[in-house]
Structure formats: structure tokens, C-alpha cells
Amino acid sequence: MTMPDANYVSANGRTTNLLNLSCAFAGAVLAGFLLTATLACAEQPRFTDELQGKVVSVADGDTVTVLVNKEQVRVRLDGIDAPESNQSFGARAKQALSGLVFGKTVTIKKTGTDRFGRTLGVIMVGDLDANAKMIEDGWAWHYKQYNQENRLAQLEDAARQAKRGFWADPAPLAPWEFRARQRTPGPVPETSDGSPLAYWLNVSSGVRHNSTCEHFGQTKRGRSCGPDEGRPCGKCGG
């Protein structure tokens, strides 16, 4: 039996290894490309329908009513969460959204329906994305729990760094945290005799909060007070 030439076997082995490495590299590149494409698609909202109509009312910073073919459609702006109406900056957020869309003909790029039966979508005023604009101007948070768009995350970071809108506040309260507090109130500070406090005075600002307020007992410098001390909070009435 003729033995194979040693040099031939060595060269063939190197060739085989090079081919294996090339295939592995090509596979890795392809896998990376597919992963990137998948992530990019996942970041983009999927539009299921497109509606056009006139905005006839603005409920708050992320909910409007649009008249579509003589039918009122309640629309919740997808990907954002604005302060609640009874929360700090709630009125400002509503005013900001009103300035963008109220009385205007808009296009709603529908992404779905929420558990309250509202249409979820992106509201376009011409080429302006109202959802993104609310985040960019600091009047809404990027609602990361339900939206993973990197574009919106970057707009929120920029607004925070520039201290636009509610980001001018050192520690603005996210609306989902505000709603959680409303559902499950935290422990109320107590006086020395163990009775619950009814009023809390922010010593730094001189503003008085009652026990229903989000700021009650939360200020760095504060104390219990009477119903006539300080200035009443603009939200809870003190």
C-alpha cells in the first residue's frame, strides 16, 4: 500500500483549516447582521393602521381625542408617559401637547389598542412626530416598559442633560411611580404621640402640603405644621 506523502497531508490540513475558519467567520458576520437587523426591527413600532382626523380635545400630556370620519377616537400616544393631571408638571405637559396638536388635522399611525380601549399610536402633524417632540422638550418620559426605541431614549437623555421641561426639577417624579404611590400610599410621618400628621411644611420653600400630596413628608428639609403655616401647595391646596 502506498503511504500518502507527508507534505501533501500537511498542506491539505492547512487548506481545510483555512476553509473552516473562513466559513466560521462568514457565519459569525451573517449572525451579527441578522441580530442587528432583528434588533433594529424590534426598536421600530409596528403600525397596523393609519387614521386621519382633527384633534378636538386634549385630556393630558399623552391622551387626546381625534375626530375621524365624524367619530371621536380616544388616542393614547405610544412610547411616552406624561405627568398625570393632578401631578406636578401635569398642567404644563397638557399645555405643551395642546400647542402641538389641538385643532390641527393629524395622522395617527396606529400601533394597537390599550386595556382601556384607547387607540395607541404615533401622532404626526405634517412631518412632526408629536410623541417624540414631547420627550424632546422635556414634557414626557420615554415609556421604556412598553417601548424600546433607541431614538426616544436618546431624546430623553438629551432633554435631561439640557434640563428642559420638568427636567429642570432636581428630582421629577415619573408618572408610573406617582400612580403607584396613589394606589399604595407610603407610611405617613407621625408626631411624638403617634398620631398621623395632616400637614407638612417644606422649610426651604415655605410651602405647606397635606397628607394627600405627593410631596408630603418627602422634602429634605421639612417638619409637621399647622393648617395655617406657610403657603398652600398649588396641587393639593395645603
Domain-embedded: residue 22: no
171/208 same-domain check: no
Domain that holds residue 234: 195-238
pTM of the model: 0.64
Sign of CA pseudo-dihedral 31, 37, 42, 46: negative
Residues 123 and 204 in one domain: no
- Return the active site residues: 76, 84, 118
Check whether residue 168 and residue 199 sit in a common domain: no
Residue 112 sits in a domain whose CATH number is 2.40.50.90
196 touches 225 (CB < 8 A): no
The confidence score (pLDDT) of residue 237 equals 73
Does 157 share its domain with 128? yes
User: Where is 17: in which H helix or E strand?
Assistant: helix 6-43
158/101 same-domain check? yes
> Quick one: 173 and 200 in the same domain?
no
H-helix segments, 44-201: 90-101, 130-136, 150-162, 175-183
Same domain, 220 and 110: no
Residue 180 pLDDT > 80, yes or no? yes
Q: Is the dihedral of CA 141, 146, 147, 153 positive or negative?
A: positive
**Which cell goes with 84?**
398625570
How many independent structural domains does the chain possess?
2
Say what the pLDDT of residue 203 is: 83
Confidence of residue 22 (pLDDT cuts 50, 70, 90): low
Q: Are residues 215 and 105 in the same domain?
A: no
Is 33 inside a domain boundary? no
Mean pLDDT of the region 115-139? 97
* 34 within domain boundaries: no
The confidence score (pLDDT) of residue 185 equals: 54
Q: Are strands 63-68 and 49-60 parallel, antiparallel or unpaired?
A: antiparallel
Same domain, 55 and 130: yes
